[in-house]
Amino acid sequence: MPVEDLTTLPTGTSVFVDTIIFDLHFKSKSIQCSALMRRIALREITAYVNTQVLADLLHKSMLAEAFSKMLITSPNHQKLKKLFDRDRSAAIRLIDCQRNVEDVIAFGVKILNITRRTIIDSQHERHHYGLMTNDSLHLHTMANHRLPLSHIVTQDGDFGHVGTITVWQPQDVIA
């Protein structure tokens, strides 16, 4: 399916929202992503995430916050791990990352659980579509929702070849 412009997402659409969309919003790198958050909060759009999206967002936000507070020299997982190895109390200074996840929940997104069955059965998506682990979990979660979700908002180009979904992308991402 072709990639669609996020600004044309119709009111009333139910969508799965990938981690990067929230990350772009919180980093102020896409006005379109922030507009989507407002539309979700106003219940114009019904948004779904799975627990992996929230965990990814927490991780990305923690790295960005540690970097912005100059606790690490680049937003790199290994640098943050080394910081925590040296100083476990450094985690106490990282509070915005938790707030970001709580804000996403407050927007009114619906959270879908990843179960043992999801992990096992998502092998189909990995093999059939050649997807990485997290993307296969997202696609499997979408397909197995009580009302299967056929729309995803993402910046990830790996979903473009999946013919069963419509991919919505922001067009204004600041590098």
The total of structural domains in the chain comes to 1
SS3 category, 151? strand
User: CATH number, domain at 29?
Assistant: 3.40.50.1010
Residue 87 domain flag: no
Joined together, the tokens standing for residue 62 give: 């923690």
In the chain, the amino acid numbered 15 is V
pLDDT of 118 > 70? The answer is yes
Residue 121 domain flag: yes
Residue 154 domain flag: yes
Residue 63 domain flag: no
Structural domain span for residue 13: 3-53+105-169
For residue 79, give every residue at least 6 positions away whose Cβ sits within 8 Å of its Cβ, in sequence order, or none.
Answer: 66, 72, 73
pLDDT of 145 > 90? The answer is no
Residue 82 domain flag: no
Tell me the pLDDT tens digit for each residue of 31-75.
999 999 999 999 999 999 999 999 999 999 999 999 999 999 999
Residue 126 domain flag: yes
DSSP assignment string, 24-59 = HHHTT--HHHHHHHHHHHTTSSEEEEEHHHHHHHHH
pLDDT of 128 > 70? The answer is yes
Mean pLDDT of 115-133: 96
Residues for the chain: how many in total? Answer: 175
